[in-house]
Structure 1
Amino acid sequence: MTNAFVINGGKPLKGEITPQGAKNEALQVISAVLLTEEKVTISNIPDIKDVNKLIELLGDMGVIVERINEHTYTFEAKDINQDFFLSEAFKSKGGGLRGSIMIVGPLLARFGKASIPKPGGDKIGRRRLDTHFLGFEKLGAQFNYNPENGFFNVDASNLQGTYILLDEASVTGTANVVMAAVLAKGTTTIYNAACEPYLQQLCKMLSRMGAKISGIGSNLLTIEGVEKLGGTEHRLLPDMIEIGSFIGLAAMTGSEITIKDVQYKELGMIPDVFRRLGIKLELRGDDIFIPAQEHYEIETFIDGSIMTIADAPWPGFTPDLLSIVLVVAIQAKGSVLIHQKMFESRLFFVDKLLDMGAQIILCDPHRATVIGLDNQVKLRGISMTSPDIRAGVSLLIAALSAQGQSTIYNIEQIERGYQHIDTRLKALGADITRI
Structure 2
Amino acid sequence: MSVFKIEGGHQLKGEIQAQGAKNEALQILCAVLLTPEKVVIDNIPDIVDVNKLIELLGKLGVKIENLGPNKMSFQADQVDLDYLYSDDFKELGKALRGSIMMVGPLLARFGKGYIPKPGGDKIGRRRLDTHFEGFLKLGATFRYNKEEYFYGVEADKLIGTDMLLEEASVTGTANILMASVLAEGITTIYNAACEPYLQQLCKMLNAMGANISGIGSNLLTIEGVEQLGGCEHRMLPDMIEIGSWIGLAAMTKSEITIKNVGWEHLGIIPNTFKRLGITIEKRGDDIYIPAHKDGYEIQSFIDGSILTIADAPWPGLTPDLLSVILVVATQARGEVLIHQKMFESRLFFVDKLIDMGAKIILCDPHRAVVIGHDFKSQLKATHMSSPDIRAGVSLLIAALSAKGTSVIQNIEQIDRGYERIDERLRAIGAHIERVDA
The answer to whether TM tops 0.5 is yes
| Aligned residue runs from structure 1 range 37-186, under 5 A | 37-186=36-185
Separation in 1 of the partners of 2:27 and 2:350? 31
| Aligned residue runs from structure 1 range 341-356, under 5 A | 341-356=341-356
2:314 aligns to what? 314
Paired AA for residue 116 in structure 2:
P
Unpaired segments ≥5 residues, structure 1: none
Paired AA for residue 204 in structure 1:
K
| Aligned residue runs from structure 1 range 232-251, under 5 A | 232-251=231-250
Paired AA for residue 218 in structure 2:
N
Separation in 1 of the partners of 2:148 and 2:399? 43
1:379 aligns to what? 379
1:406 aligns to what? 406
1:360 aligns to what? 360
Separation in 2 of the partners of 1:203 and 1:24? 14
How far off its partner does 1:115 sit? 1.6
> What percentage of aligned pairs have identical amino acids?
71
After superposition, the C-alpha distances for 1:140-181 in whole angstroms (9 at most, x for unaligned) are: 110111234432221122210001111100000000000000
Separation in 1 of the partners of 2:47 and 2:267? 25
Separation in 1 of the partners of 2:350 and 2:361? 9
Separation in 2 of the partners of 1:267 and 1:103? 27
Q: Secondary structure at the match of 1:238?
A: coil
Separation in 1 of the partners of 2:147 and 2:235? 39
Q: Secondary structure at the match of 1:234?
A: strand
2:396 aligns to what? 396
Separation in 2 of the partners of 1:310 and 1:153? 35
| Aligned residue runs from structure 1 range 330-345, under 5 A | 330-345=330-345
1:418 aligns with 2:411: no
After superposition, the C-alpha distances for 1:258-311 in whole angstroms (9 at most, x for unaligned) are: 000000010000000000000001010100000000210000001111000000
How far off its partner does 1:94 sit? 0.7
Separation in 1 of the partners of 2:41 and 2:28? 8
Separation in 2 of the partners of 1:213 and 1:150? 33
Paired AA for residue 343 in structure 2:
F
After superposition, the C-alpha distances for 1:330-357 in whole angstroms (9 at most, x for unaligned) are: 0000000000000000000000000000
Separation in 2 of the partners of 1:408 and 1:240? 24
Q: Structure 1 runs of 4+ off > 3 angstroms?
A: none
Separation in 1 of the partners of 2:380 and 2:172? 41
After superposition, the C-alpha distances for 1:225-256 in whole angstroms (9 at most, x for unaligned) are: 00000000000000000000000000000000
Q: Secondary structure at the match of 1:6?
A: strand
Separation in 1 of the partners of 2:81 and 2:271? 47
2:22 aligns to what? 23
Q: Secondary structure at the match of 1:390?
A: helix
Separation in 2 of the partners of 1:265 and 1:112? 38
Separation in 2 of the partners of 1:21 and 1:148? 37
1:266 aligns to what? 265
How far off its partner does 1:400 sit? 0.2
Structure 1 length-normalised TM: 0.99
Separation in 1 of the partners of 2:349 and 2:116? 29
Unpaired segments ≥5 residues, structure 2: none
How far off its partner does 1:128 sit? 0.6
Separation in 2 of the partners of 1:146 and 1:311? 34
How far off its partner does 1:37 sit? 0.5
1:325 aligns with 2:325: yes
Q: Secondary structure at the match of 1:144?
A: strand
Separation in 1 of the partners of 2:398 and 2:119? 28
Separation in 2 of the partners of 1:124 and 1:234? 31
Separation in 2 of the partners of 1:115 and 1:325? 37
Paired AA for residue 98 in structure 1:
R
Structure 2 length-normalised TM: 0.99
Separation in 2 of the partners of 1:115 and 1:172? 16
Q: Secondary structure at the match of 1:104?
A: helix
Separation in 2 of the partners of 1:34 and 1:275? 41
Aligned alpha-carbon RMSD (Å): 0.6
Q: Secondary structure at the match of 2:336?
A: strand
| Aligned residue runs from structure 1 range 187-206, under 5 A | 187-206=186-205
Separation in 2 of the partners of 1:68 and 1:346? 37
Give the paired residue count.
434
Q: Secondary structure at the match of 1:127?
A: coil
Q: Secondary structure at the match of 1:78?
A: coil
How far off its partner does 1:121 sit? 1.3
After superposition, the C-alpha distances for 1:69-116 in whole angstroms (9 at most, x for unaligned) are: 120000000011110000001001111111110100000000011121
